[in-house]
Structure 1
C-alpha cells in the first residue's frame, strides 16, 4: 500500500454507509420492489441531509472541501452514523478543510517518556501498558509483560497487537477467547487511526503488510467499519494461568496525543482476581522472561 488516500477513504466510507440503510429504516417510502441499488439512493440521502443531489454526489466522490460542520452533522444523521463513524467523517473532512491542503498530523510516537514508565511500574496489582493508534506496544509494567507474553514473543520491537491478531492467527485464536470480535475491532480501530492521520508512513506500511498477508484483514478493512477505543471486557486464555475475564479501561493521555494507557482489573474474590495473583507469581519465577 503506497498511501492512504483521504479522497478514496471518503468515497468508500460514504458509499458503504449509504448501502446499509434501507428506505424503511430511514423513514422513507419504498416505492416498488425492484430497487437497483443496495440501501439508499444518492437522491434519498441528499433529501434526508437537506442538500442538493449534486452537492451530495460531490461529497460521495470524495470531496468535502468547504463542507460546513452543519452539513456534516446532517449527513451523519441521514446515514445513521454512530459516534465512531461520525468522528471518522469529521476526521476525513478536516483533511480537506485546512488551509493549504490536507493536514499532516504528527505520526504516532514509538517511545514514551521515562515518567510514564514510572507510572506503569507504580501499578503493581494490575497489568497496564501504553500503546499508540497503530497498536504498537510501547511500554508495559511487569504484570502486563506476563499477561501479554504471547503477543510479546515476536522479536520485532515495538511488538504490535494487530500483527499478532492477523499474522499469528492460531496463537491469537488460542489467546483471545473472543477472537472474531477482537479481529473486527482491531481493523476498525486501525481505520479510525487512518482517518485521523492518513500520512503516517508506519501506519501505511502496517496496513499494507496486513493486507498482503491476511485475507481476513483484507475483508475487515474493506468493510469500512470504524471503532473508538473504549472500556469493556476482554476474555483471555493465558498459557500459564488459564482463563482470565478482565475489565479493561483505556484512557487517552492528554499530554501525549495519540497514546493510550490501558489497565486490566478484576473484582476481588473472583476467579480472575485469583488468576492475576497466580500470574504475578508465575512472572516472578526465575527463568521466566519479562519480554
Structure 2
C-alpha cells in the first residue's frame, strides 16, 4: 500500500483494466435503437454499441472516448462522466462506480493521497446494545467486504448455517459462504441471484476501496477456488446494497421469504446495518417468532 503521491503500479494497471472492461461491458448491452440512433445494419464485430456511437450520444470526440475506454482517465471532467453516464444509461450504482474508478485513477496526478482510516472491526457498545434490543428482528452489521462484524441473537440464528460453515474462521464472510460454504446452495433458495448480488456488491466495494488488501485477497481466493465467481466477476456488474428480498431455507423453521433494509451507520464509517423482516401475519413472520423463541445466546 502506497503512502506517497503515486498509485502503486499494480493497482494503476488494474484500474486501467477495470475502467476499460467496465465501459466495454456497459456498451455491449445496448443497441443503437435503445439510445436513439439509427441502425444501418451490417455486421458488427462486437455486440452492442460501437465506440463512435457512444461518443456521439455522449457529446464528445471519438478520440477522447477511446482514450478513456483504454483506461486513461487523467483529467476527465465531471461533464464528460455525465455524458458517458447518459449515453450508456448507467444506473445509480454504475454511475457511482464509474466516478470511483476515475477518481482513484486521477489520484496519482493530484495532491498527496490521504489514506482512508481503517475499517472498524467491531461496533461501539451502545450500537451493540441497540441491536440487541431488537429481539424480534434479525439484524446483522457488515462491512463492504461482507464480513459480519456483529449480529443480534436472532440475526445470528438466521445466518447460523454461515456461522457453522465458518466455525474456524472469524469474522464470518458472507461472500466466502455463498461461493465456498457447505450448504450455501440449500440455504439460499435463489442461489444464482444471491451469487450475482454478492459479486456486484464486492465489485462496488472494489471501486470504492481499491487499496483494500483484504478485499483483494478475498477476491483472489474466490476467483481461484470458484469458477462461478470468476465468471460473475468478469461481468463488472455493481450494486448498491440498500433494500431487497432474501429467500432462504432455515434448518429449524424451513422456508423464509424475507425483506431487508440496509442503513449505513454514521458513527461507524464503512459499516452497514441490515434488518430483516416479513409481512405481518405471514408464514415467514410466524416462523421468525418461532425462531426468536428457539434461539439461544451466541457470540459472533
Q: Same fold (TM over 0.5)?
A: yes
Q: CA contact under 8 A between 1:146 and 1:290: conserved in structure 2?
A: no
Pairing 1:25–2:37 present: no
Cα distance between partner residues in 2 of 1:102 and 1:96: 12
Aligned residue for 2:267, secondary structure, equals coil
Corresponding position of 1:80:
89
Give the alignment partner of residue 243 of structure 1, picking from 235, 242, 255.
Answer: 255
Corresponding position of 2:7:
none
Q: CA contact under 8 A between 2:97 and 2:207: conserved in structure 1?
A: yes
Q: CA contact under 8 A between 2:200 and 2:237: conserved in structure 1?
A: yes
Alignment of 1:150-165 (within 5 A): 150-153=161-164, 154-155=166-167, 156-165=169-178
Corresponding position of 1:223:
235
Q: CA contact under 8 A between 2:30 and 2:49: conserved in structure 1?
A: yes
Pairing 1:139–2:144 present: no
Q: CA contact under 8 A between 1:130 and 1:261: conserved in structure 2?
A: yes
Q: CA contact under 8 A between 1:95 and 1:102: conserved in structure 2?
A: no
Give the alignment partner of residue 183 of structure 1, picking from 195, 211, 214.
Answer: 195
Cα distance between partner residues in 2 of 1:104 and 1:61: 27
Corresponding position of 1:122:
133
Distance change (3 Å), C-alpha of 1:270 and 1:197: same
Q: CA contact under 8 A between 2:153 and 2:298: conserved in structure 1?
A: no
Q: CA contact under 8 A between 1:251 and 1:262: conserved in structure 2?
A: yes
Corresponding position of 1:196:
208
Offset, 1:37: 2.2
Q: CA contact under 8 A between 1:266 and 1:273: conserved in structure 2?
A: yes
Distance change (3 Å), C-alpha of 1:104 and 1:191: farther
Name stretches of at least 5 consecutive residues in structure 1 with no aligned partner. Answer: none
Deviation per CA, 1:107-157: give whole Å up to 9, x if none. Answer: 533222222211111211111110000000000001111111001111211
Alignment of 1:94-133 (within 5 A): 94-98=103-107, 99-100=110-111, 104-133=115-144
Q: CA contact under 8 A between 1:94 and 1:102: conserved in structure 2?
A: no
Offset, 1:102: 6.6
Pairing 1:167–2:180 present: yes
Cα distance between partner residues in 2 of 1:261 and 1:62: 35
Q: CA contact under 8 A between 1:251 and 1:261: conserved in structure 2?
A: yes
Corresponding position of 1:233:
245
Which has the higher mean CA deviation after the structures are superposed, 105-114 or 186-195?
105-114
Deviation per CA, 1:45-88: give whole Å up to 9, x if none. Answer: 11111111111111001122211111101101101111111110
Cα distance between partner residues in 2 of 1:241 and 1:15: 45
Aligned residue for 1:5, secondary structure, equals helix
Name stretches of at least 5 consecutive residues in structure 2 with no aligned partner. Answer: 1-9
Q: How many residues are matched?
A: 286
RMSD: 1.8
Corresponding position of 1:90:
99
Q: CA contact under 8 A between 1:107 and 1:197: conserved in structure 2?
A: no
Offset, 1:31: 1.7
Pairing 1:208–2:220 present: yes
Distance change (3 Å), C-alpha of 1:45 and 1:104: farther
Cα distance between partner residues in 2 of 1:105 and 1:20: 34
